[in-house]
Amino acid sequence: MITRRALLANGAKVAVGTVYGGTLVGFLTGCGSSDDAETPIVEVIPGGLMVVNPILCVGCRRCEIACSWSHGKSAVSPSTSRIKVAKNLNFGPHGVQPNYQDQRGEQGDSTIVPSTCRQCDVCMTVCPQKAITVNEETGARVVNDDLCVGCGYCADKCPQQVITIDKTTRKSLKCDLCEGSPNCAQVCPTGAIKFYTWEDAVAEVELHEKYLELV
C-alpha cells in the first residue's frame, strides 16, 4: 500500500498495470481520497488525465471552445464543453465570498482554476444505465450515447462537477480525452492545460488541489 505521503517523499512512480492503493488514485482523481486502509485496491489503467496549471492559465477559454468544436455539431458553449473554465472564472471555485478580493478568480487574486475531468470511477459507478465505461486504449471513461438516457446522476455525483447534460440531445457530456489527442491542450496558448499520464500527474494535481481551496 502506497500512501500519498510516501509516494511524494520517495518520488515513486505509478506504473501502468500495477495494482495500487486507493489513496493515490483517490488523490489523483479527487474522489474518496483517505488514508483508510479499507479503501479498495484499484488497478491503474493506461492513459491519464488533463490537468490545468492555474499559474499559467490566462483565462482565454480556448480550451472550452476547442472542446465544443471537436465534439458533435460545432455549437460553442461553456455548457457543451467538457472542461469548465467559466464557472470558476470570476470568483474562483467557491463562488462569491465576502472576501472575494482575496479568493481566486478574475475578481479575486486573478488566478483562474479551470476544472477538468479526473477520469475517476464515480460517474461510471453511479450510472444506472451502465452507459459509462472505460475505453481501454485511452483510459478515458466514456459515455455511450445509445445507452445514456440523460438522467443526470453522473452530473450530480461528479466530484469535479464537469459533466453536463446536453439541453437538446439529453445526453451526458463528459471528457473522452478526444480519443487520445485532447484538443483543449492543443489550443492552449500558454501550455497551461496538459495531458498527464498517471505517472506524471502527481505534482500537477497537487498544485491544482491547492488552488481549489478557499484562500
The site for another protein (CB under 8 A) is made up of: 55-62, 65-66, 68-70, 73-80, 86-87, 89-91, 95-96, 100-102, 105-111, 167, 183, 186-191
63 binds ligand SF4 (CB under 6 A): yes
CA distance 171 to 179: 19
Q: Which of the ranges 7-15, 61-69, 99-107, 197-205 carries the binding residues for ligand SF4, by CB under 6 A?
A: 61-69
Output the smallest distance, CB 57 to another protein, in A. Answer: 8
Place of cell 461553456: 78
Determine if 188 is a binding residue for ligand SF4 (CB under 6 A): yes
Residue 14 or 122 having the CB closest to ligand SF4: 122
64 φ/ψ sector (left φ>0, alpha ψ -120 to 50, else beta)? alpha
Helix (H, G, I), strand (E, B) or coil at 133: strand
Cα distances from 2 to residues 33, 35, 39, 57, 120, in angstroms, run 13, 10, 12, 31, 18
Stretch that binds ligand SF4, among 1-9, 18-26, 36-44, 188-196 (CB under 6 A): 188-196
DSSP string, 135-166: -TTT--EEE-TTT-----HHHHH-TT---EE-
Query: How many whole angstroms from its chain centre is CA 177?
Result: 10
Site size with ligand SF4, rule: CB under 6 A: 26
Q: Is the CB of 103 or the CB of 116 nearer to ligand SF4? A: 116
With respect to another protein, which residue has the nearer C-beta, 27 or 100?
100
Q: Rounded to an integer, what is the distance from CA 152 to the centroid of its chain?
A: 17
Q: Does 201 bind ligand SF4 (CB under 6 A)?
A: no
Q: Which residues bind ligand SF4 (CB under 6 A)?
A: 52, 57-63, 85, 114, 117-120, 122-123, 141, 158, 160, 162-163, 174, 188, 190, 192-193
